[in-house]
Amino acid sequence: LGCAVPTVLRMAVISIVMISMVTGTLLVQAVPWMVRRVRRYWPEKREAIELKTVPEAFLFGCHRVGSDFLPVIKKQHRPFVVVDVDPQVIEDMRQRHIQAIFGDLENRELLEQLSIEKAKLIVSTVPDLSLQIHLLRYLKRKRAKSIVILVAHEVQDALELYHMGASYVILPHFLGGNYASQLVTHHGYNADLFEVERAKHLKHLKQRG
């Protein structure tokens, strides 16, 4: 019995650790969804949007995959804006003298104010399929001619985004943001060249499916 007690304690500790890890992962994934839902019923004071120049490019989300695009977009030497829901990211961007706006894709009023449909390049690294589709539908209604680079985590989601009109879809599990950012380096804001890349990638994904 004396030997069994430590064994039971070890099993209990292991169980608690595993439950904590699973719970923590689920919470991290759920937080963005929860924040968006709360924001619908909790009015927030929005800052006035004053852009120094008319942006030719927008980067929605500057974490992880978005960080691959930032230096590439800067090298284009064309006006651009970073849009993020993290106040710390906005502060960091502004300290680096980069135009940055607090907000997300779900806010149609923000998209209207920014006139994103006039941009030549729109990159969204927000890993939410519904928001990506929301963006594509908005751009379609505005008859935008922008190059639109998005992120998906499943092949089927990527195919759906292509069907909705995305120019290129990044699948981080198969192809990181670094490769897609290099497309911007090589092709600039040339929509015809991105159409070629789109066709090649779409064919590859269909073959995988």
pLDDT tens profile 97-109: 999 999 988 899 9
First to last CA, the chain: 56
Q: What number is the average pLDDT over the span 59-68?
A: 79
Across residues 25-50, what is the average pLDDT? 51
In the predicted model, is pLDDT for residue 40 greater than 50? no
pLDDT for the residue 176: 55
> If DSSP codes are grouped into helix, strand and coil, which group holds residue 60?
strand
pLDDT of residue 7: 67
Ramachandran class of 136: left when φ > 0, alpha when ψ lies in -120 to 50, beta otherwise: alpha
